[in-house]
């Protein structure tokens, strides 16, 4: 078959792309990921028993709001990078702004605390649980977002994989916050950030292999 004939055949067999197809894919992926993370958290960790009292504290909402904002930025990046030839440079600047917004008060809290208290503010009692749980809880969302991106023909596979991992990690961190008893800003700025960074790094490494089409 000649090239012109092949092109003509492809053009004649093409059908219009369904409207809002990308939005539906991401919505389905996030619904699956959020449900999976929440179910795993409930089964293996449980909601903190004093959540009603904790919900009256501003820091509880900061702990939920920070990963939610990261998820919003990561979703923007993932949705753009899922399309051929697109970039998401603005997302990097937004992420740096979010990191500065959490690291600055964390640094101030550490500087204002007695030296003997600083390690407790950073490590709390559950730093290892946080570091392990957030990446593990992110697995359902990671799988779902990779599925959503791969079906939209991405070309920047490493960046798209990293965005998928960050989105999954942020969703997981928000779910984990319902279990986590820690309320210190330095703890959030350390272990929540690192917990979200691990799936992002995994996505960057696996993206070229898993998102190839």
134-158, pLDDT tens digit by residue?
Answer: 999 999 999 999 999 999 999 999 9
pLDDT above 50 for 14:
no
pLDDT attached to residue 18:
61
1-17 burial code (b ≥16 CB/10 A, e <16):
eeeeeeeeeeeeeeeee
Residue 1 lies in a domain: no
Nearest-angstrom CA–CA distance, 76 and 97: 15
Mean pLDDT for the stretch of residues 119-133: 98
pLDDT attached to residue 119:
97
Residue 14 lies in a domain: no
Mean pLDDT for the stretch of residues 178-185: 98
pLDDT attached to residue 4:
60
Mean pLDDT for the stretch of residues 103-120: 97
Nearest-angstrom CA–CA distance, 169 and 151: 21
Residue 57 lies in a domain: yes
Residue of 167, 169, 159, 171 lying closest to 204 (CA atoms): 159
The number of domains in the chain is 1
Residue 7 lies in a domain: no
Residue 107 lies in a domain: yes
- Dihedral sign (CA 182, 58, 138, 170): negative
The structure tokens 């204002």 sit at: 112
* 187 against 12, higher pLDDT: 187
Q: Provide the domain limits for residue 77.
A: 21-210
* 16 against 177, higher pLDDT: 177
Residue 12 lies in a domain: no
Q: 26-64: per-residue pLDDT in tens?
A: 999 999 999 999 999 999 999 999 999 999 999 999 999
Residue 160 lies in a domain: yes
pTM metric for this prediction? 0.91
Residue 84 lies in a domain: yes
CB 126 within 8 A of CB 171: no
């Amino acid at each position: 078959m000649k090239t012109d004939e092949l092109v003509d055949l492809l053009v004649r067999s093409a059908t219009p792309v369904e409207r809002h197809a990308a939005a539906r894919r991401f919505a389905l992926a996030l619904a699956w990921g959020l449900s999976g993370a929440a179910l795993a958290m409930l089964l293996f960790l449980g909601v903190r028993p004093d959540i009603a009292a904790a919900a009256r504290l501003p820091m509880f909402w900061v702990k939920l709001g920070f990963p939610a904002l990261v998820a919003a930025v990561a979703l923007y990046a993932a949705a753009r990078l899922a399309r051929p030839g697109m970039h998401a440079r603005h997302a990097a600047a937004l992420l740096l702004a979010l990191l500065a917004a959490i690291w600055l008060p964390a640094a101030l809290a550490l500087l204002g605390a007695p030296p003997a208290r600083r390690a407790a503010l950073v490590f709390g009692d559950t730093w290892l649980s946080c570091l392990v749980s957030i990446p593990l809880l992110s697995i359902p969302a990671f799988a779902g977002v990779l599925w959503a991106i791969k079906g939209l023909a991405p070309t920047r596979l490493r960046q798209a994989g990293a965005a998928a991992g960050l989105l999954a990690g942020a969703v997981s961190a928000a779910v984990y916050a319902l279990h986590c008893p820690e309320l210190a800003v330095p703890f959030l700025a350390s272990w929540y950030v690192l917990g979200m960074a691990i799936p992002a790094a995994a996505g960057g490494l696996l993206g070229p292999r898993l998102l190839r089409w």
